[in-house]
């Protein structure tokens, strides 16, 4: 039996596994000839992009709801190591390594936590479901706690996209505390500096309307249980500090003999094969290539999903000796949640603002709650169809008043 092994069941890994199974199914290749195995440390496909939201009720989908009907074998376990020479994966708890004929590396990324004193121990984050649940439980317990330490103050550190989404959600999440203070700090000279000037003005308008204090040009020197000391020596008392300082590719990327980019990602070609290797593909946050010939892929669900679908298709075709399909994505959008104010929706790499406020929020809700989920109804055929190696169309340029229409992933 030959084996295609997919590491990670996030937006890239899940669709790689289903994409590979889809081709094998189309070619009527029985499972005892080529098996697809997905390895993940959890039992859940995490809709990670929703971890900043108030409710976490629907942000995970059981893997078995998706994989059981398409013939992908699932292994639950922590991937410990990869031996490229032997083509073997060590998984915690398994007596033997898992061998592979073809591999898709899709272990994603993780929050970068620098060695700031107290940060790892005292700060919250929303990188994983478990971390987001810890923050949710902490916020829920605040109203019943003594008010000595500034229990109604939240300091969000990191004014990139995740930090802005976390901060703008806070006023709504803290209503039980009465008067609250939310501070959003970043070392860059502006909050949301990655978003370009036009979108940044929208973000600043939203932050102002939500009474969120902006503290650009600031780093955190130390964190403790009652607050943080900033680089200018100022102390901020806060019962809640949330670190949103950026992501790095999975540390096991370092096992591959290829030069990583500045995020630690593996270079792949347009077929998602790791450059210079024969049997290994990579997709999602762990990989990068020029999606439109010019711009490097972004660590995003928007790119991870099509990368996954194409990696799955190509890894199976490569094993079968069939031609592979190049991935090219000629458009790019950003839809940033701005809490009760709404959202901002930009198009293009220079982030031209298309929609703001409630219209943009409609698009955001459609993406977060529908578009990026595996088909919620329908069986095997619908799941296979969702894994087809296609790049979906960009969102239409019309206003969301008539409904957001076909929204991209």
Q: Applying CB under 6 A, which residues contact ligand FAD?
A: 8-13, 39-42, 46, 48-49, 51-52, 78-79, 106-109, 126-127, 162, 250, 284-286, 299-302, 304
Q: Closest CB to ligand FAD among 22 and 250?
A: 250
Q: Minimum distance between the CB of residue 122 and ligand FAD, rounded to whole angstroms? A: 19
Beta bridge partners of 280: 103
Q: Minimum distance between the CB of residue 363 and ligand FAD, rounded to whole angstroms? A: 11
Q: Minimum distance between the CB of residue 78 and ligand FAD, rounded to whole angstroms? A: 4
Q: Closest CB to ligand FAD among 30 and 99?
A: 99
Q: Minimum distance between the CB of residue 347 and ligand FAD, rounded to whole angstroms? A: 14
Q: Minimum distance between the CB of residue 248 and ligand FAD, rounded to whole angstroms? A: 11
Query: Under a CB-based contact definition with an 8 Å cutoff, are residues 103 and 5 in contact?
Result: yes
Q: Closest CB to ligand FAD among 108 and 374?
A: 108
CA atoms within 13 A of residue 355's CA, in its CB half-sphere: 26
Q: Closest CB to ligand FAD among 279 and 298?
A: 298
Sign of the Cα pseudo-torsion (373, 370, 317, 294, in order): negative
C-alpha to C-alpha distance for 155 and 183, rounded to whole angstroms: 5
Q: Minimum distance between the CB of residue 59 and ligand FAD, rounded to whole angstroms? A: 10
Q: Minimum distance between the CB of residue 404 and ligand FAD, rounded to whole angstroms? A: 15
- What does the block give as tokens for 392? 């979906």
Q: Closest CB to ligand FAD among 102 and 265?
A: 265
For residue 246, how far is the Cα from the chain centroid? 11
Q: Closest CB to ligand FAD among 193 and 237?
A: 193
C-alpha to C-alpha distance for 276 and 364, rounded to whole angstroms: 38
Q: Closest CB to ligand FAD among 91 and 239?
A: 91
Q: Closest CB to ligand FAD among 45 and 215?
A: 45
Q: Minimum distance between the CB of residue 105 and ligand FAD, rounded to whole angstroms? A: 10
Q: Minimum distance between the CB of residue 124 and ligand FAD, rounded to whole angstroms? A: 12
Neighbour-count burial of 109, counting CB atoms closer than 10 A to its CB (0-12 exposed, 13-18 middle, 19+ buried)? buried
Q: b or e along 293-331 (b: 16 or more beta carbons within 10 Å of the residue's beta carbon)?
A: eeeebbbbbbbbbbbbbbbbbbbbbbbeeeebbebebeb
C-alpha to C-alpha distance for 341 and 310, rounded to whole angstroms: 37
The angle, 0 to 180 degrees and rounded to 10, between the axes of the packed helices 161-173 and 196-209 is 20
What is the β-pairing status of strands 235-237 and 287-288?
A: unpaired
**CB neighbours of 37 closer than 8 A, spacing ≥ 6?**
3, 4, 5, 6, 72, 73, 74, 75, 98
Q: Which of 165, 213, 13 is CA-nearest to residue 104? A: 13
- What does the block give as tokens for 278? 């024969």
C-alpha to C-alpha distance for 160 and 272, rounded to whole angstroms: 27
Q: Closest CB to ligand FAD among 207 and 299?
A: 299
Which 3 state secondary structure label does DSSP give 231? Answer: coil
C-alpha to C-alpha distance for 247 and 245, rounded to whole angstroms: 7
Q: Closest CB to ligand FAD among 22 and 364?
A: 364
CA atoms within 13 A of residue 264's CA, in its CB half-sphere: 18
Q: Minimum distance between the CB of residue 223 and ligand FAD, rounded to whole angstroms? A: 20
């Amino acid at each position: 039996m030959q084996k295609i092994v997919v590491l990670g069941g996030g937006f890239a890994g899940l669709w790689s596994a289903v994409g590979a199974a889809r081709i094998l199914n189309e070619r009527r290749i029985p499972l005892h000839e080529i098996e697809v195995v997905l390895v993940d440390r959890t039992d859940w496909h995490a809709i990670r992009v929703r971890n900043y939201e108030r409710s976490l009720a629907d942000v995970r989908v059981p893997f078995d709801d998706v994989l059981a009907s398409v013939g992908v074998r699932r292994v639950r376990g922590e991937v410990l190591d990869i031996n490229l020479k032997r083509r073997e994966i060590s998984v915690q708890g398994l007596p033997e390594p898992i061998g592979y004929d073809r591999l898709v590396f899709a272990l994603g990324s993780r929050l970068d936590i620098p060695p700031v004193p107290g940060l790892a121990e005292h700060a919250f984050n929303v990188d994983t479901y478990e971390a987001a649940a810890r923050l949710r439980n902490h916020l829920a317990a605040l109203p019943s706690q003594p008010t000595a330490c500034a229990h109604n103050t939240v300091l969000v550190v990191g004014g990139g996209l995740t930090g802005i989404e976390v901060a703008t959600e806070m006023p709504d999440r803290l209503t039980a505390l009465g008067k609250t203070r939310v501070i959003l700090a970043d070392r860059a000279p502006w909050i949301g500096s990655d978003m370009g000037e036009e979108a940044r003005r929208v973000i600043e308008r939203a932050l102002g309307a939500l009474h969120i204090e902006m503290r650009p040009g600031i780093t955190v020197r130390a964190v403790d249980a009652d607050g943080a000391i900033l680089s200018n020596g100022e102390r901020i008392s806060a019962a809640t500090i949330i670190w949103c300082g950026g992501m790095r590719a999975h540390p096991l990327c370092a096992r591959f003999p290829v030069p990583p980019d500045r995020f630690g990602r593996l270079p792949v070609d347009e077929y998602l094969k790791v450059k210079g290797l024969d049997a290994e593909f990579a997709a999602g946050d762990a990989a990068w290539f020029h999606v439109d010939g010019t711009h490097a892929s972004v660590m995003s669900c928007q790119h991870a999903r099509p990368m996954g679908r194409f990696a799955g298709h190509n890894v199976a075709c490569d094993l079968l000796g069939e031609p592979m399909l190049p991935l090219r994505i000629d458009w790019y959008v950003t839809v940033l949640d701005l809490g009760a104010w709404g959202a901002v929706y930009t198009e293009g790499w220079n982030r031209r603002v298309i929609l703001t406020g409630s219209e943009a929020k409609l698009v955001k809700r459609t993406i977060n709650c529908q578009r990026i989920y595996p088909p919620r109804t329908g069986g095997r055929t619908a799941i296979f169809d969702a894994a087809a190696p296609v790049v979906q169309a960009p969102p239409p340029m019309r206003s969301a008043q008539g409904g957001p229409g076909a929204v991209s992933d």
